[in-house]
Amino acid sequence: MGQAGQPRRGHAADGELGVAVARAQEGDEAAFAVAYRLVQPGLLGYLRGLVGDEAEDVASDAWLEIARDLGRFRGDGAGFRGWTATIARNRALDYLRRQKVRPRASVLEQDLLELPGAHNTYDQALDSISTEYALGLIAQLPRDQAEAVLLRVVVGLDGPATARVLGKRPGAVRTAAYRGLKRLAKQLGAEGVTEEGPRTLGESG
């Protein structure tokens, strides 16, 4: 955790984002578009982990609210990521509540099906590494770990901001993210090993 040199962590673009947000708050439309393009990918990635294929729709809802409340926001680029992530999360939770789906179950099950299982050949495993695959991996984590990982790694929030979005203590969030990543690494590593030998994977459940 906390490696400063990560390209994604703490987003190099945060400075640019902060400027864009400030100008958008003054009414600059082009600046708002810049902010959108900087934020949307991470937001979408996070939402995919929460609501799966509904991510696009939920993101649209979130952006309506973001656009409406933009004037209320105070903070810099990193802060804007946290603020937007909070809004997106609330929209996602609303959606899940409305759907009365078991929180992530539909996403989870579906992705588990797509996940390369113990019987996949290495080639298949190779082919499936992509968003779906990553999503499937993350979907296997307990929810708190999955969210912590997504917010930190995909949205690019730091520990305190992640904690604020989730409404938890920073320590708890740090631990969750760490455990989640460790688990992912283990899983991915275990599958990568199939290349070298016919080892059965005990980990994929």
Partner 1 sequence: MGERHGDGGSFDRRAGRPVNGWSKSDAATAAGRQDVPALESFLAAAMCADALDPDAENQAMAAFRAARAAGTHEAQTRRRDDWRPRAERWGGRSLRATLAGLLASVALGGVAIAAIGTAGTSGDGDDGPRPSSTAPDQSANDSGGTGAPGSTAPGSSAPGRRDGDTGGPSVRPSSAQDLEAHCRAYDAVGKNGEALDSIAWKRLVEAAGGEKKVEKYCADRTGQPATGQPTTGEPATGQPTESPGGADSRPENEAPAPTVEPDPPKPSKVPGKGDLKDAAP
Query: Per CB under 8 A, which of residues 165..204 are in contact with partner 1?
Result: 181-182, 184-189, 191-193, 195
Nearest to 204 by CA among 133, 123, 107, 103: 133
Tell me: does residue 95 bind partner 1 (CB under 8 A): no
Tell me: does residue 130 bind partner 1 (CB under 8 A): yes
Nearer to partner 1, 1 or 105 (CB): 1
- Rounded Cα–Cα distance for residues 180 and 136 (Å): 13
Binding footprint of partner 1, residue count (CB under 8 A): 79
User: For residue 147, what are the CA distances in angstroms to 139, 152, 154?
Assistant: 10, 8, 10
Tell me: does residue 163 bind partner 1 (CB under 8 A): no
Tell me: does residue 37 bind partner 1 (CB under 8 A): yes
User: For residue 31, what are the CA distances in angstroms to 20, 25, 81, 130?
Assistant: 5, 9, 15, 31
Report residue 77 as tokens.
């680029």
Q: Are 156 and 45 in contact (CB under 8 A)?
A: no
Residue 54 is classified by DSSP as G
Nearest to 11 by CA among 86, 90, 80: 80
65-84 residues in contact with partner 1 (CB under 8 A) are 66-76, 78-80, 82-83
Smallest separation, CB 32 to partner 1 (Å): 5
Smallest separation, CB 166 to partner 1 (Å): 13
Smallest separation, CB 121 to partner 1 (Å): 13
Smallest separation, CB 29 to partner 1 (Å): 7
Smallest separation, CB 158 to partner 1 (Å): 11
Tell me: does residue 149 bind partner 1 (CB under 8 A): yes
